[in-house]
Amino acid sequence: MKRILHILLCVLCLAASALSGYAQTEPPLQLDSIVVSTTGKEILLKDPLGHAARVNLDQIEAFPSLLGNADPLRFAQMLPSMQSTSELDAGIHIQGCEHQHNLIALDGIPIYGATHLMGLFSVFNPSHFKSMTYSTAAVGENRLGGILDMQTQVSAPREWGVDASLGLISVQGTAKAPLGKKAGVLLSARRSLLDLFFGNAIQLDKITMGYRFSDYNGTFIWHPTSRDKVSLDFYYGGDRLHSSTNELGLDLHWNNLLGSLKWTRGAFRQSLYYTGCVLDLSLDEQGKRVLLPSRIGTAGYKAFWEKGGLQLKADIAMHHIRPQTPAVVDSGIDFGTDENFHAWENGISASWNGHLGYHFHYTAGLGAQWYLSPEGKSHFGLSPQLAGTWSLPGERTLQLRSGIRHQYLFQTGLSNIGFPSEFWLPAGKYSKPQWTAEALLSYEKSWMKGQWSFSAELYYRHLGNQLDYTGGVMEFLDGSYTLDGALQRGSGRNYGLNLMLSKTAGKFTGWVAFAAGRSLRTFDGETRPSDHERLVELNVVASYRVGPWDFGGSFICAGGTPFSEPQEYYMVGSQLVAVFNGQNNGRLEPYVRLDLSTRFHFRSRGRLQHGLNLSVYNVLARKQEMYRTIECRRRLVQWNYKSMYLGISIIPSLSYYLKF
Among 46-60, 263-277, 361-375, whose mean pLDDT is lowest?
46-60
Q: What is the per-residue DSSP string for 413-478?
A: ES--SSS--EEEEESSSS-PPEEEEEEEEEEEEEETTTTEEEEEEEEEEEEEEEEEE---HHHHHH
Among 50-64, 328-342, 582-596, whose mean pLDDT is lowest?
50-64
pLDDT at 4 over 80: no
Beta bridge partner(s), residue 342: 320
Provide CB contacts within 8 A for 458, sequence distance 6+: 440, 441, 442, 495, 496, 497
Q: Which helix (H) or strand (E) holds 253?
A: strand 248-265
Position 39 scores a pLDDT of: 34
CA dist 600 and 586 (Å) reads 45
Beta bridge partner(s), residue 590: none
Give the type of residue at 434. Q
CA dist 44 and 515 (Å) reads 25
CA dist 210 and 582 (Å) reads 36
Position 640 scores a pLDDT of: 64
- Choice between 574 and 171, residue whose per-residue pLDDT is larger: 171
- Choice between 509 and 494, residue whose per-residue pLDDT is larger: 494
Beta bridge partner(s), residue 72: none
- Strand 147-151 to 103-106 pairing: parallel
Chain segment 399-413, per-residue pLDDT in tens: 999 999 999 999 888
Among 171-175, 288-292, 518-522, whose mean pLDDT is lowest?
288-292
Contact in structure between 611 and 602 (CB atoms under 8 Å):
yes
Beta bridge partner(s), residue 210: 242
Q: Assign 579 to helix, strand or coil.
A: strand
Contact in structure between 424 and 409 (CB atoms under 8 Å):
yes
Q: Which helix (H) or strand (E) holds 480?
A: none
pLDDT at 384 over 90: yes
Contact in structure between 444 and 284 (CB atoms under 8 Å):
no
Percent of the chain with pLDDT over 70: 78
588-597: b (≥16 Cβ within 10 Å) or e: bbbbebbbbb
Contact in structure between 382 and 366 (CB atoms under 8 Å):
yes
**What does the pLDDT average to over 98-117?**
87
CA dist 176 and 128 (Å) reads 9
Number of Cβ atoms within 10 Å of the Cβ of 485: 11
Among 20-34, 54-68, 560-574, 639-653, whose mean pLDDT is lowest?
20-34
Q: Which helix (H) or strand (E) holds 73?
A: helix 72-76
Chain segment 390-447, per-residue pLDDT in tens: 988 888 999 999 999 999 999 888 765 545 678 899 999 999 999 999 999 999 998 8
Contact in structure between 26 and 359 (CB atoms under 8 Å):
yes
Position 183 scores a pLDDT of: 95
CA dist 55 and 45 (Å) reads 10
This prediction's pTM = 0.85
Provide CB contacts within 8 A for 35, sequence distance 6+: 42, 43, 44, 45, 46, 131, 132, 133, 134
* Eight-class DSSP state of 115: B
CA dist 159 and 176 (Å) reads 8
Phi then psi for 577, rounded to 5 degrees? -115, 125
415-452: b (≥16 Cβ within 10 Å) or e: ebbbbbbbbbbbbbebbebbbbbbbbbbbbebeeeeee
Contact in structure between 268 and 304 (CB atoms under 8 Å):
yes
Among 226-230, 251-255, 313-317, 563-567, whose mean pLDDT is lowest?
563-567
Chain segment 448-487, per-residue pLDDT in tens: 877 888 999 999 999 999 998 887 777 777 777 888 888 8
Among 321-325, 385-389, 626-630, whose mean pLDDT is lowest?
626-630
Position 36 scores a pLDDT of: 39
pLDDT at 18 over 60: no
Burial label, 196 (beta-carbon count in 10 A; 0-12, 13-18, 19+): exposed
Position 522 scores a pLDDT of: 95
Provide CB contacts within 8 A for 484, sequence distance 6+: 430
Provide the pLDDT confidence category of residue 573 given band limits of 50, 70 and 90.
Answer: low
CA dist 81 and 95 (Å) reads 5
> What's the CATH code, domain 2-231+239-659?
2.40.170.20
pLDDT at 141 over 70: yes
pLDDT at 93 over 90: no
Chain segment 240-278, per-residue pLDDT in tens: 877 766 566 778 888 899 999 999 998 999 999 999 999
* Eight-class DSSP state of 64: P
Percent of the chain with pLDDT over 90: 35
Radius of gyration of the CA atoms of the chain, in A: 25
Beta bridge partner(s), residue 611: 601, 657
Position 331 scores a pLDDT of: 64
CA dist 62 and 550 (Å) reads 7
Contact in structure between 184 and 176 (CB atoms under 8 Å):
yes
Burial label, 566 (beta-carbon count in 10 A; 0-12, 13-18, 19+): middle
Q: Which helix (H) or strand (E) holds 79?
A: none
Provide the pLDDT confidence category of residue 501 given band limits of 50, 70 and 90.
Answer: very high
pLDDT at 100 over 60: yes
Provide the pLDDT confidence category of residue 519 given band limits of 50, 70 and 90.
Answer: very high
Give the type of residue at 601. H
Position 6 scores a pLDDT of: 37
Position 545 scores a pLDDT of: 86
- Choice between 163 and 77, residue whose per-residue pLDDT is larger: 163
Provide the pLDDT confidence category of residue 199 given band limits of 50, 70 and 90.
Answer: low
Position 229 scores a pLDDT of: 94
Identify which of 51, 133, 57 has the alpha carbon closest to the alpha carbon of residue 390: 51
Contact in structure between 539 and 556 (CB atoms under 8 Å):
yes
pLDDT at 27 over 60: no
The mean pLDDT of the chain is 80
**What does the pLDDT average to over 317-343?**
79
Provide the pLDDT confidence category of residue 61 given band limits of 50, 70 and 90.
Answer: low
